[in-house]
Amino acid sequence: MSSVSSVDLLHLDPAAWKPQLLHAGDRVWLETNCYMDVWAELLPALGHPAEAALAFTVRQDFEGDHFTFFKFPLEDLEALFGLAVQELAVYDSLEGHTLEQLGRGRPVLIEVDSHWLPDAGPTYRKGHVKTTVAAIAIDPTARRFGYFHNTGYHVLSGEDYDGLFRKQAAPDYLFPYVEFVKRDGRVLSGAALVDGSLTLLRHHLQHRPKANPIVRWREAMPGHLERLAARDMDYFHLYAFNVPRQLGANFEMLGTYLDWLGANGQESLTDTAAAARGLAEAAKAVQFQLARMANRRKFDVAAIKFAPMEADYELILSTLVKRFA
């Protein structure tokens, strides 16, 4: 293991850190999912424009019980930013492996229990929910750990450090899934970055859904409402996260990507970007509508406005296919 006693890759101050562009305060969906949110902060911190890597959002589909849990494809991050993300073989202490890789200049992405994250809100010291953090700094002697999570950069210490790294855990606990980020590949910039991003967009458009996924959600909604009616509000929150939130957050990201293309020489994308944001807003409105139904225990599929979202989806994908595919 590493001979260094502590590492701080970026020397960030959590009190001074401001959420990056993809977490700006005026966004419809401030948070998306833990893996996307980690990269949305980590990429700019490493000097890369995260919006350049959002072409994959055109591929989101309705999977029958959820919308695709969208994440930056690792091969896209390597193609654009030279970042090779690999699984970290954890066979010793997680603390030791994290120190070793950070000592080599490599951020470490770790699946952890949010029970020990002070920034985890109501889950902190109460619930147990899996989430992903990006380790940037660690000091085992001081029991301090610096990490990206959700919309910010944070530092935890003391008992939270011991809990996160399972200092008191039984020796037979399962190792978590961990990745490390090698940063020695070719980094694109300027016109080469735009061209590389457009190449990825053309590739992802070739793998877009064969049918409008929002139409398929509408067709499945009667069954979804039956399950919502039979379950409690805890189930509703899980449903909301995996269905309307993933849909809306994905298309807000797509709108951001189209804005980035427009700012980098690709004209006539303003209306398409606006449609993507409109879809994001409509998905949030549906989430609120479903919340009211769940609270009142009165469910009416006919009251849910799918048509505007379906129309926005058709406009967005047809425009992009015509323009780029």
Structure tokens given for 93: 């202490």
| Closest residue by Cα to residue 302 from 212, 222, 242 | 222
Instruction: Please choose, from the candidates 27, 13, 2, 57, the residue with its C-alpha nearest in 3D space to the C-alpha of residue 251.
Output: 57
The answer to whether residues 38 and 133 touch, using CB atoms and an 8 Å cutoff, is yes
SS3 138: strand
Task: Render each residue's pLDDT in the chain as its tens digit; 325 residues.
Answer: 667 899 999 999 999 999 999 999 999 999 999 999 999 999 999 999 999 999 999 999 999 999 999 999 999 999 999 999 999 999 999 999 999 999 999 999 999 999 999 999 888 999 899 999 999 999 999 999 999 999 999 999 999 999 999 887 655 667 899 999 999 999 999 999 999 999 999 999 999 999 999 999 999 999 999 999 999 999 999 999 999 999 999 999 999 999 999 999 998 899 999 999 999 999 999 999 999 999 999 999 999 999 999 999 999 999 999 999 8
At residue 1, what is the residue type? M
Instruction: Provide the CA 244 distance to its chain's centre, in angstroms.
Output: 15
**b/e map of 133-157 (b: 16 or more CB within 10 Å)?**
bbbbbbbbeebbbbbbbbbbbbbbe
**Boundaries of every domain in the chain:** 7-182, 190-324
Q: How far apart are the first and last CA of the chain?
A: 48
Residue 169 to residue 171: CA distance in whole angstroms: 6
Number of Cβ atoms within 10 Å of the Cβ of 202: 13
pTM above 0.85, yes or no: yes
Structural fold of domain 7-182: Cathepsin B; Chain A (3.90.70)
Q: How far apart are CA 72 and CA 56, in angstroms?
A: 7
Alpha carbon distance 260, 274 (integer Å): 13
Please give the pLDDT value at position 171: 58
CA-nearest of 151, 307, 171, 297 to 235 is: 297
> For residue 146, how far is the Cα from the chain centroid?
19
pLDDT given at position 163: 93
Give CA–CA dist 110/67, Å, rounded. 24
Q: Do residues 182 and 190 lie in contact, with contact meaning Cβ atoms separated by under 8 Å?
A: no
